[in-house]
Structure 1
Amino acid sequence: MSYYGSKFYDNDSNFENYMERRQGQENANDTLEKPVVWELLGDVSGMKILDLGCGDASFGIELFNKGCTEYIGIEGSHNMVQVAAKTLEGYNGMVIQTMIEDWEYPHESFHLVLSRLAIHYIQDIRSVFRRIHQTLKPNGKFIFSVEHPIITSTLQPSGTRTNWIVDNYFVDGYREQQWLGGTVHKYHRTIEDYFIALQEAGFIIEQLRESRPIRKNFISEETYERRLRIPLFLFLSGTRKK
């Protein structure tokens, strides 16, 4: 059975496999993706933050520990929402179960909107980016990460990749991937597509980053060398001006 986006994690087997994978040593999220996100975030003291596709909301706790004052997570997966609600107990945070595309974004409400590895599940990013722009306070930031377009252009079965074939790069749209024992649907678009969608929504684009590995984040030299071969993630940061 195949799944779109967050619904993939409502299959109990997929969910368990994912949670186990996230605990693995030197997983790509912690060694490559999270360090860049923190660099882009900077000081989050006093911020009200919206996290789109928040998963288990564990990153919300890290944000609180860095001075965030209010946190709202949006998550479509029932399994993830159950874990996230427990994670946020005792904090000024909450998780709302809905799809990113369906939530009613309140006007000028957040200092920061964050989305980590969720937007590649969304078909119509232009509409979502416009809603994100209007939910930010003036000078608010939108920071997101996605699987790098050279990855999504030609998805391959799970396991360690031995080649980095890039094909159909300029053919945007639906892709299907075998991952963690299940089938997940994603949407491929180019770096240019993401960039233009942000501009059209009204953002001033501040940074574009890729997941260049840093040696100190890795225990294994072999893993570090392998991560030098190709970027796994793309990051963009934009600001809503007054």
Structure 2
Amino acid sequence: MKQNKYDDPSFFEKYSQMPRSVDGLNAAGEWHLLRTMIPALKDKRLLDLGCGFGWHCRYAREQGARQVTGVDISARMLERARQTTQDPAIEYLQLPVEDIDFAEGTFDVVISSLALHYVAAYETVCRKVFDCLTPGGTFVLSVEHPVFTAIAAQDWYHDANGHRLHWPVDQYQQEGLRNTRFLDTDVVKYHRTLATLLNALIGAGFRITAISEPQPAPDVIAAYPEMKDETRRPIFLLVSAVKPG
């Protein structure tokens, strides 16, 4: 299954109004840690899987990347990315993440931000990323945390007055498809345990170098108070892995 909700006009409009869609990386609660996991990019060739509006692609060029390729399944997302990118060294390709087929050693760095929990063939993507990286290359990815994806409802447990009491975790070991709601739309996501997420990288040949379960930076919470409860449970998992060589 290759899901493309972002080309639905109503969903796209709602997504476009989210803080990280309007204000970019500075409104992403995990960015302060994710950027520390990305290696030095000067003169590097970078691939962004699920590039969306192209925020990470443009950041890579600001950091001196030589060539950047962004891949996304959504025509609407890529249209916005191209409108906001005036740089011939950035190429955008409309392609499902799991269909990438780049030659061995094409890239020095591959990143994927909050895209792979929508992809059924996660292990396949890990192997393809390994193959298209140069020896010594780095794969940095973020996904929704397994604590967040375990229950399809993806919501807090509330008391009778609507106050958030705690985040429920159940059916953690039952991996697979979850029919969830995101921006008032039915969306398919895939729940994987922490072990599965990490072992797929190891099985593809990667050496894991860093793991993070970030909470938003204080300045982000100050700017976006609705994020204050993101300190109570992990919402994202960040992983950095290297192809030996």
TM-score by length of 1: 0.90
2:129 is the counterpart of 1:132: yes
Q: Deviations over 1:8-27 (max 9, x none)?
A: 10100100100111358999
Call closer, same or farther: CA 1:226–1:24 in 2, change over 3 Å: farther
What is the distance in 1 between the residues matched to 2:213 and 2:129?
Answer: 22
Moved more, 63-72 or 195-204: 63-72
What is the distance in 1 between the residues matched to 2:157 and 2:219?
Answer: 22
Whether the aligned pair in 2 keeps the contact of 1:58 and 1:87 (CA below 8 Å) is no
Deviation at residue 183 of structure 1 after TM alignment: 0.9
What is the distance in 2 between the residues matched to 1:32 and 1:23?
Answer: 9
Which residue is equivalent to 2:189?
186
Moved more, 124-133 or 140-149: 124-133
Write out aligned runs for 1:71-82 (5 A).
71-82=68-79
2:220 is the counterpart of 1:217: yes
Deviation at residue 151 of structure 1 after TM alignment: 0.6
Aligned AA (2:232): R
Call closer, same or farther: CA 1:23–1:146 in 2, change over 3 Å: closer
Which residue is equivalent to 1:108?
105
SS across alignment from 2:169: coil
Which residue is equivalent to 1:168?
171
Write out aligned runs for 1:26-175 (5 A).
30-156=27-153, 162=164, 163-175=166-178
TM-score by length of 2: 0.89
Deviation at residue 217 of structure 1 after TM alignment: 3.1
Moved more, 64-73 or 151-160: 151-160
Moved more, 137-146 or 208-217: 208-217
Which residue is equivalent to 1:240?
243
* Aligned residue-pair number: 239
Q: Deviations over 1:165-195 (max 9, x none)?
A: 1110000000011111211101000111011
Aligned AA (2:220): N
Aligned AA (1:229): R
2:216 is the counterpart of 1:205: no
Call closer, same or farther: CA 1:28–1:210 in 2, change over 3 Å: farther
Aligned AA (2:182): W
Call closer, same or farther: CA 1:120–1:14 in 2, change over 3 Å: same
Call closer, same or farther: CA 1:20–1:223 in 2, change over 3 Å: closer
Q: Percent identity?
A: 28
After the TM superposition, list the runs of 4 or more consecutive aligned residues in structure 1 that deviate by more than 4 angstroms. 23-29, 157-161, 220-225
Whether the aligned pair in 1 keeps the contact of 2:49 and 2:71 (CA below 8 Å) is yes
Instruction: Point out where structure 2 has 5 or more consecutive residues left out of the alignment.
Output: 159-163
2:233 is the counterpart of 1:230: yes
Q: Deviations over 1:43-85 (max 9, x none)?
A: 2111110000000112211221111121001100111121122
Instruction: Point out where structure 1 has 5 or more consecutive residues left out of the alignment.
Output: none
Whether the aligned pair in 2 keeps the contact of 1:158 and 1:180 (CA below 8 Å) is no
- Give the superposed CA RMSD: 2.5
SS across alignment from 2:46: strand
Q: Deviations over 1:112-148 (max 9, x none)?
A: 0000000101112111111100100010000000001
Call closer, same or farther: CA 1:100–1:31 in 2, change over 3 Å: closer
